Structures are given as C-alpha cells and as structure tokens.
Structure 1
Amino acid sequence: MISLALDSKPRLPRGVRLKHDAVRNEWTLLAPERVLKADLVAVEILKRCTGDATITAIVDDLASAFKADRTRIESDVQTFLADLAAKRMIDL
C-alpha cells in the first residue's frame, strides 16, 4: 500500500474525471481505458480532491459534514486514496 502524507493535496490527474450518469443515476470515475463505479462515500471524497485541500482538511470536512468519527474517516480516506494512487487514478 502507498504511504500517504497528510499534507498531500490529492487531485484527479489529467484524463481522469468524476462523472454522473443521469440515465443510470450512478457516479463513475473515468480514466483512459478504465471505468470505476463510485459509491456515495467515494463521490464525497473525490469531490474534495481538487488539489487545493490537504488530506487532513478533506478528513476534517467529511467528519464535520457527516458528524462521523474522524479517526474512522481518516482511515477510510487514506485506504481509498492509496488504492486510487496505486491505480494511477489520483495524484497526491
């Protein structure tokens, strides 16, 4: 697993985008020759991956918005972003 620095500012790399399919009412992460379905948790994380906010800021925002345990959110966000980074679908 890729190690993430909490001060990293994740962003979608060139050619990768988050798209909502209105016909199927589902979100997908589109990359060259790859498509991943994104559940609602993934969408909330990916919407915040603009290259402006650090991982810490994203975790804080999610914990505040959903009134959830920050430690659990931090673990989930790090696991999710590390997996996407390994697939080269997010830049850290």
Structure 2
Amino acid sequence: MHLHERLRELEYNLPSVSWIASRLSPAQLMEHFKPFIDITLYNGKSGLLRFWDPRVANQLPVILEEDQLRELMQGVEEWLYSMERNVQSLKWSMAT
C-alpha cells in the first residue's frame, strides 16, 4: 500500500491525520508550533497540548481565548482533519 493510501485509511478510520494549508514551509510551521506544545495547567503542573490531534483540534475554538487561537493559527490558512468520519475545518480569518 502506498503512503497516500495509508494516510487516507488512517484519516478515514482513526482521528490521526491533519492537513494544514499554509504559505509557511514545514520547518517554519514546526518552529511556529513549538511554543504551544508545553503548557502550564491551572494547578501549576506542566501539560502537553496535543493540538495536532483532531480530537483536541476540534475543541480549540472552545478551550482557547480568541487571542490564543489567533496566535496559534498565525500563518495557517486552513486546518483540515477527520473527526467521526467527517472532515472538519479550523480556519482563522486573520491568518497571515
């Protein structure tokens, strides 16, 4: 099975594939997203924000403040992911 077919199968069967449309290079996107991974929880403990996981991405507009979402989505034109076998879209109108 080719990589493209395997990704399609994962996308269809499991919440594990995201597609990001951006003018940024993959290396630039990695650098942009790094600061958003490690977070401090309300109780002072450290946590991992798995924003790349479609189950988490689906909740980002609910759990993040508007300015936090704007900062995360900077440079991202559209973020597509599969959730319960439906394609979902996370967009930010201020993407640069």
TM-score, reference length from structure 1 = 0.31
TM-score (norm 2): 0.30
Q: Rg bigger for which structure?
A: 2
Relative contact order (C-alpha < 8 Å, sep 6+): which is higher? 1
Higher strand content, 1 or 2: 2
